[in-house]
Structure 1
Amino acid sequence: MKLKSVPAVPATGAEKTAEAPRLLIYSHDTFGLGHFRRCLKIAQAFASTYPQSSILIVTGQPQAERYRLPEGTDFIKLPAVVKVGENRYQPRSLGSSFEKIFELRQNLIVEAVRTFQPHIFLVDHAPLGMKGEIRNTLEELKNRSDAPALVLGLRDILDEPEKVCKTWTTEGVYPILDEVYDRIFIYGTPEFFDPVSAYRFGQAAKDKTSFTGFIADSARLSTSANVANGETRKILLTIGGGEDGAEIVAAYIEMLLAYGERLAVETTAVLGPFMPENKRKAFTVQAQDLSLCFEEFVPELPSRLAEADLVISMGGYNTTVEILGAARKALIIPRIYPRREQLLRARRLFEMGLVSYISPEELTPDRLYQTVVSNLANPKSPLAEAREKNLLPLDGASKLAELCRLLFAQKGVLK
């Protein structure tokens, strides 16, 4: 399927602006770290493309202050909520009802948009926000003559197609895609996965949709296919924010206890800032005699991925794309509840010969050991080879920034 591309307005050296471009990014951030990290990469690309720009991220990410912000970027922290089930949320920290927190978040978002007056309002992932919290904002903006360009950014895979279509029909998302958003950008390629077809976009939505490629940290892309020196191999185990994934760490510890003498490996496990303290302490006790060390949080993950002979991770978009951009070999153990998005992504990458994967339902210490040994014995580095061939485009952030050039120009910002 051929989709419309946004014609680029040629750059002429230093940007001449009537006023500095303003971008507001909304990121609901109710689980993990990935959404906010992706927004930071987008902000960095905009800051590089439009050096005088001001970028405001409105986020529910509790760990936002631990990240280095790009030049000209700041954030507003929404009261945090956490997903506890299928479309169910609760306050992460505040002793208040979800309804009151929801109302507070709604009001903060509306006021941020009214006061900051962005030229582009970029909504990450959720067309209506967490449980529809930006619906009122979108409707207000659509009726204003001075409204910003309304842009929706979607990752490659959301969930199983039938489930997404049912949810979007029930929640009234399709009219929003057709009638409210000015542009839709998909952070992937149709060859890898085509959500336009899978999620049954209407014709109006199709006409305003473009694929950007994957949102990776282009400044840190690694093409090295060399393995670490010496006989001891390095394994990096990461489970994202740590709200789930403890069963992966547990299985890995059991594997080392059973087979550690056969494996000449040193392992670093990044447990994430959201892992419950009791689980963190239990893992520390279990691993005290193993060649395994724990870290809570690594803000610059790509450089650590590049140092490892094998990366073991879950299958979220952000970590997976960072693996595609920096790692040599990877084993993905995807989350399968409440969404199967990670499983679909892992299977697709496996079909392409880029990664190994184990479904959580099949995860045992024995299976893990066999897969780790197989990966370490393989002399090839499939991910490094894929980067050399440019098999999957990883410049989505810079391409997204360029695709927004015309939108800025239409708002009278770029001349």
Structure 2
Amino acid sequence: MAAEAAGRPPKRAIFFVYDGGTGVGHLRRLGCIARRLQGRLSCLIVTGHRSAAHWFVPEECEYVHLPSWDSLLEAKARYWGRRPFVFLDEADAVRLRKAILTAVVEAFEPDVIFVDHLPLGAGEEIADVIKDTRCLKYLVTRGVLNETVNLRELVFGGKAGRYLDSYYHRILVATDRKVFDFAAQYNISPEIREKTVHTGYVTDSVPQGTVKTAREDRGLKDGDTWVVASAGGGQLGEPLIEGCLELVRAYPDVTFDIVQGPRSNIAWTWRHRDVIETGNLRLHRETHQMPFFHAGADLVVSSGGYNSLLEALQGNAKILCFPFWKDRRDEQYRHAARLRQFVDLDVSVDLSELPELFARAIGSIGSRGVRDRRAELDFDGTGAIERIVHRDLGLSG
């Protein structure tokens, strides 16, 4: 029975999206969870991602837009040839965001707080909110960490570790334990280990009927080969997109959809269009159809971001990954490498290998190859989180 039908107002949940990185995957992940919880909870997302929010924040939820690090810090704004909208040093930028976040929490009065990726935020701007707000607090992590930027320390060490121990109710690991065992991989304290729950992957499901429709809408017939290439949000993935564009003319019988991404710095000269079609290529600036493209393709070429991989795994695609984080200890490479036991996937940190690996993958489409085990993976992370939150809040039925 819905809370409002029982005469009780819904509980309230705030989702703080990490936006200190290069992509929009953190917003996608929390948006999936908010969509699942909305109804019995009223879900408010707080994010610095402006252009992506209108696609990835569920219509039934609401969001507050924070001034983003990209528009506050000169070093970040420079990547796109922009200037900050207001000139602040980093300490003042943190104070501004902290004041806004505190005001949002005081106004909304949440029963639950979800924090993504870093327990204290990119600049410790949510530390006081976590310490002082009386409600349930969950850290959501994709599980595999970028170890070259010392994320172990940023998540488990020092002040972050103390806050996880003292103020967080649970750590929700949005990964299938069969692929990556978070607690076994990282040296975490017994207290934090006790709070850690593997939920399975968090993603929007793509029904097989929708996959079929996506191919039909693209004009594909039986036997046609569809390649979808993207670099997630696009930032740092520009060389991969340029490499994929070079393949289009070499494979005139293959249908390509290549997506630059909303955070790419590749110049887009068509001011009033978001997609350009020439011959066997559709080039997209960005598209909200990405989950259906990835699930419907025969071959996905990707930088190996969490959401891109999960979308491709819901279809039948072969996968090529070229992470822009080049170290094999980092998330994009390590996660893709662990998935090789479940799906036909190649991963390389050397983009010069793209033509050879692409030719091999195209040539193997239609062959039986190794046994595909993607059906063994757990994609019900949002369902598991819903059950956990309802239980912790005492929402029966």
Fold shared per TM-score above 0.5: yes
Residue ranges of structure 2 left out of the alignment (5+ in a row):
none
The SS at the match of 1:130 is coil
For 2:392 and 2:302, how far apart are their aligned partners in 1?
37
CA distance in 1, matches of 2:373, 2:115: 30
Counterpart for residue 7 of structure 1: none
Q: CA offsets, 1:76-135, max 9 Å, x none?
A: 0011114999xx856974232233322111111111111101111011111111121111
Higher relative contact order (CA 8 A, sep 6+): 1
- 1:274 and 2:263 correspond: yes
Match of 1:204 among 177, 182, 191: 191
Bigger shift: residues 94-103 or 160-169: 160-169
Deviation at 1:157, TM superposition (A): 0.6
Q: Please say if 1:397 is aligned against 2:388.
A: no
Q: Secondary structure at the match of 1:132?
A: coil
Query: Is the contact between residue 18 and residue 414 of structure 1 (CA under 8 Å) also seen in structure 2?
Result: no
Unaligned stretches of 5+ in structure 1? 1-12, 142-146
- Residue in structure 1 matched with residue 208 of structure 2 by the alignment: 222
2:346: which partner in 1? Answer: 357
Q: Percent of aligned positions with the same letter in both sequences?
A: 24
CA positional deviation for 1:364: 3.5
After superposition, the C-alpha distances for 1:60-90 in whole angstroms (9 at most, x for unaligned) are 11224431643541000011114999xx856
| Aligned counterpart for 1:104 among listed residues 83, 87, 96 | 96
Cα distance change, pair 46–156 in 1 and its aligned pair in 2 (3 A): same
Does 2:5 correspond to 1:25? Answer: no
Instruction: Give how far 1:159 is off.
Output: 2.1
Match in the other structure for 1:63: 51
Aligned partner of 2:152: which letter? C
CA displacement 1:207-243 (0-9 Å, x = unmatched): 112111000213x243899896344311111111111
Please show how residues 14-413 of structure 1 align to structure 2 within 5 Å.
14-15=2-3, 16=6, 18-30=8-20, 31-47=22-38, 51-67=39-55, 69-70=57-58, 72-82=60-70, 93-97=84-88, 98-141=90-133, 147-160=134-147, 163-168=150-155, 171-218=158-205, 220-222=206-208, 229-257=221-249, 259-260=250-251, 264-278=253-267, 280=268, 291-336=280-325, 340-350=330-340, 352-379=341-368, 386-387=373-374, 390-409=375-394
In structure 1, C-alpha distance between the alignment counterparts of 2:279 and 2:353, rounded to whole Å:
19
| Matched positions, count | 377
Cα deviation, residue 138, structure 1: 1.2
Contact 1:54 1:72 in 2 (8 A): no
Q: d(CA) in 2 for partners of 1:211 and 1:39?
A: 16
Contact 2:52–2:262 (8 Å) recurs in 1: no
What's the TM-score, normalizing by structure 2? 0.84
TM-score w.r.t. length of structure 1: 0.81
Cα pair 1:46 1:398 within 8 Å, conserved: no
| 1:314-369 Cα shifts (integer Å, max 9, x gaps) | 1111221222223532222222258721000111112x141322323253453243
Aligned residue type for 1:104: L
